[in-house]
Amino acid sequence: MRRVMINMHDLVGRTSYFVIRFHGPEGAANDELTSRLVDSATTRTLSWPKGTEIEVVPQPLTGADGPHRLVIGTVPTTAKQVACHWKDGTTTLADRAPDNTPVRGTNAVIRSVRGYPTANWFACAAPGSAAYESAEVTK
């Protein structure tokens, strides 16, 4: 085990976030799910996207290699819909979920995240084996 020394002054006034993806068979218990770190950062200022600005992190849906079939990212808190376009010509629409609603199985959604007030997060999963091409705020 490697010990990491952290200077507390490096953490004060900063925000850290971690996006973790859990996947497994439908109806599986938490201990039966596989988890993977999708994105993380520590920053002094959170991004504050405006208008139709979008930040995307495309990646393989499972494993470390393969076509980028999962897209996560941030959009303005005013965004109501994100269109994820795939290289096979299809599009997946992520609509804004109301605050404080249960997480449900879906291929695309925009959600607010408690403690992350400057932007909302979205996720799109590709249909079939399609790979990521682009994403845009459409509403």
Q: Per-residue pLDDT tens for 60-109?
A: 877 677 778 889 899 999 999 999 999 999 999 999 988 777 777 777 88
Average pLDDT, rounded, for the chain:
80
pLDDT score of 122? 92
The reply to whether 98 falls in a domain is yes
Other CB atoms within a 10 A radius of the CB of residue 92 amount to 19
How many structural domains does the chain have?
A: 1
pLDDT score of 85? 96
The reply to whether 89 falls in a domain is yes
Domain that holds residue 51: 45-137
The reply to whether 36 falls in a domain is no
- Identify the residue with better confidence: 14 or 86: 86
Contact 93, 107 (CB under 8 A): no
Report the DSSP beta bridge partners of residue 22: 35
Structure tokens given for 108: 């695309």
pTM of the model: 0.75
